[in-house]
Amino acid sequence: MAELDGRTALITGSARGLGRALVRAFLDAGARVVAWDVDEEANRAMARETGADGDRVVPMTCDLADLDALAECYAEVRERHGAVDVLVNNAARALTKPLWDITPGEWDQVFDVNLRAAFFLTREVTGDMRARGSGRVVNLASIAGQAPRPTGAAYGAAKAGLIALGRVFAAELGPHGITVNTIAPAMIDTPMVRSVGDEVLAALTAQVPVGRIATPEEVARLAVYLAGPHAGFITGATYDINGGALMR
């Protein structure tokens, strides 16, 4: 029997990179996946490529920066697909810019997706989990929220906030049978990371003790474990998956 047979997982930011790997990993573990992304075409393509589109993968278009749209999307999930057993807050917006040049609008865009949406969506979903007395939440933060990186003020601050938010939810929801944990990866081998170019990537990789960057599958499998039946005594934790780039 697979780890997550019969469970429904809601995964945000599902269309590309780590989100795509998360969908596949949860499918492999037996879950049914409701996949949210703002890019409708890419999200539907992702669902088709899994071979489970319309059966165990349900792609939905949702703009998490719009709280009204977020609430409407979740109401549709409840009505059409029933209870959500696992929430994976993966959607993110990055910004690489000197702190002197960040505009208020850019700051808000990063926080709207990385932190504000995670707060309000988690509150919506765990409200239903509380009524059932069980549930799992997995947040995808970043090493950027734990160690300073030049040109990463907005993204790093938002991810640090997500780590703190996970602990608050964990403390409040533990008595209701809900665990909340956070994963903080360093660089993951995705098209976005590869876009920096081979020379830059090689320089960054040289700073990692294990001598490489993470695969999306490595991070996704950790998320599956934290969502599964053997992680019931783990909550409020932050898991570093960074090849030794930050040792604590």
Assign residue 162 the CATH number of its domain.
3.40.50.720
DSSP β-bridge partners for residue 137: 87, 180
Q: Note the pLDDT of residue 59.
A: 97
Q: Provide the domain count of the chain.
A: 1
DSSP β-bridge partners for residue 36: 12, 60
SS3 state at 248: coil
Strand pairing report for 238-241 and 135-140: unpaired
Sequence-separated (6 or more) residues with CB below 8 Å from residue 206 = none
Q: Is residue 245 part of a domain?
A: no
Q: Is residue 100 part of a domain?
A: yes
Q: Note the pLDDT of residue 7.
A: 97
Interhelix angle 117-132/153-173, nearest 10 degrees: 10
Q: Is residue 2 part of a domain?
A: no
Q: How far apart are CA 94 and CA 229, in angstroms?
A: 32
Q: Is residue 94 part of a domain?
A: yes
Kindly report whether the global pTM for this prediction surpasses the value 0.85. Answer: yes
Which residue ranges of the chain lie beneath pLDDT 70?
Answer: 1
Q: Note the pLDDT of residue 198.
A: 85
Q: Is residue 248 part of a domain?
A: no
Structure tokens at 168: 């608050």
**19: phi then psi, degrees, rounded to nearest 5:** -60, -45
Of 149, 178, 174, 146, residue with least CA distance to 162:
146
Q: Note the pLDDT of residue 1.
A: 58
Structure tokens at 235: 């909550």
Of 177, 182, 4, 156, residue with least CA distance to 88:
182
Q: Is residue 247 part of a domain?
A: no
The DSSP output letter for 99 is G
Which residues are annotated as catalytic? Answer: 155
DSSP string, 115-146: IIHHHHHHHHHHHHHHHHT-EEEEEE--GGGT
Domain that holds residue 106: 8-239
Q: Is residue 246 part of a domain?
A: no
Q: Note the pLDDT of residue 194.
A: 81
